[in-house]
Structure 1
């Protein structure tokens, strides 16, 4: 049977591609829906937008139409990279670096429509939030991030199992949009909050490592062997007991565990290799109390 490392190694190159794709989707959502209606994104990107606005409108610096937001975003992420490599890992840093560089590039080259695609700010806030949330979620799913608050969110989520990347974004963005009220207009802050709320919800849906899943496996093979797979390959615990099939009236073994949705997908493939006839039940969104570590 293949180990978890084999599955992960086989997918490694696709994860780098997903970081690029996630950056492209995020940048498209920003330049096509958020920027044209003068809304501000969440986290470090929002701060970068505010800085560019202050440079252009308050300091009257002529940038010649160049979108400086991506460059500012890149420079602000540099200090956070050190947090990622020291606390989270080099692979996370590499994938995050790819995503941040691509976001900087795409936001600089993708055109910003002079006339918004949608006239209503509310519509742009919702659609932009959904698209940007998908892009950020894809980067997180690939094992990297969009930088900024994603790095800090991943770090805090590893420290506290009740924490999520989207939740941190909502907290920090409350402060950012409070500043927007003082600098710009109340309506701008309201639409920005709508944007960040939708983006945060989509991030937590796409980022399957943050979704807990109950796993029940019904098999006629050795239940202890499947438990060992869960313990050794995923560093999780599991429980198994013997039962009797209601229809077949034959002995069966039930294995129970809780994993992330991402881990459960790999486990399902591994169990099917060991027992093609195994019956597997997955239940998402279970609430957990006790010693359960997030593997992000």
Structure 2
């Protein structure tokens, strides 16, 4: 049977709000793991981390600013509802990342664990947001647009762009930290690629 022919049960408002809250909290915790271990993720979050390490400015500021130019594509291709959800999610991640640093204190964090668990937390958070028609802006918007328009897997598109970010990171971070960051990026994008496929999840908002 054609999955598109199956009836759908739209998400309720409270379900979207809960997903927004939980998804952004997962991402913020993963980002704090990465910051603690001086690691890097991909997409606009990776760009924000890279700029934080290079300039000393906080992640939340960079993350919010980097995403501003991508809202035009979001409005043009994905609609106002998606764009407003994404704007809210970006604001929450920027806020929660700063707050989480005060909510938890990590005395010791093994770098390999931080890479794999941090990447997994971010991936799970992004998956929750994707399934409620929300993204974390920037490259995520581009990846979702290419999946919807051309059928390209969002996770694989993201993986290719993340590779370019890691190459740039070699100018800022030690080689071992970049290598661990690559492992985290693979974990993140595999979670999305294996679980966010057209027709597999029919929930809509």
TM range (shorter): 0.7 to 0.9
In structure 1, the gaps of 5 or more residues are 57-62, 212-259, 267-295
Task: Indicate which of 176, 180, 188 corresponds to 1:191.
Answer: 180
Judge conservation of contact 1:20–1:98 (CA < 8 Å) in 2: no
Q: Deviations over 1:52-109 (max 9, x none)?
A: 21113xxxxxx6xxxx111211111111111001111112112111211110110111
Give the alignment's TM-score, normalised by structure 2. Answer: 0.88
Give the alignment's TM-score, normalised by structure 1. Answer: 0.62
Structure 1 residue 261 and structure 2 residue 203: aligned? no
1:13 CA drift (Å): 3.3
Judge conservation of contact 2:54–2:172 (CA < 8 Å) in 1: no
Q: Deviations over 1:14-47 (max 9, x none)?
A: 113212210011101211x211110011111111
Judge conservation of contact 1:177–1:189 (CA < 8 Å) in 2: yes
Task: Indicate which of 55, 65, 71 corresponds to 2:61.
Answer: 71
Instruction: Tell me which residue corresponds to 1:15.
Output: 16
> Which has more helix, going by share of residues?
2
Judge conservation of contact 1:27–1:132 (CA < 8 Å) in 2: yes
1:169 CA drift (Å): 1.6
SS in 2 for 1:143: coil
Q: Deviations over 1:97-145 (max 9, x none)?
A: 12111101101111164533x32x1121111111111001100011111
Q: Greater Rg, structure 1 or structure 2?
A: 1
Judge conservation of contact 1:40–1:46 (CA < 8 Å) in 2: yes
- After superposition, the CA RMSD in angstroms is 2.2
In structure 2, the gaps of 5 or more residues are 1-5
Judge conservation of contact 1:36–1:115 (CA < 8 Å) in 2: no
Structure 1 stretches of 4+ with a deviation exceeding 6 A read none
- Which protein, 1 or 2, shows the higher relative CO under an 8 Å CA cutoff with sep ≥ 6? 2
Q: Please list, as runs of the form range in 1=range in 2, the aligned pairs for 1:74-113 lying within 5 A after superposition.
A: 74-111=64-101, 113=105
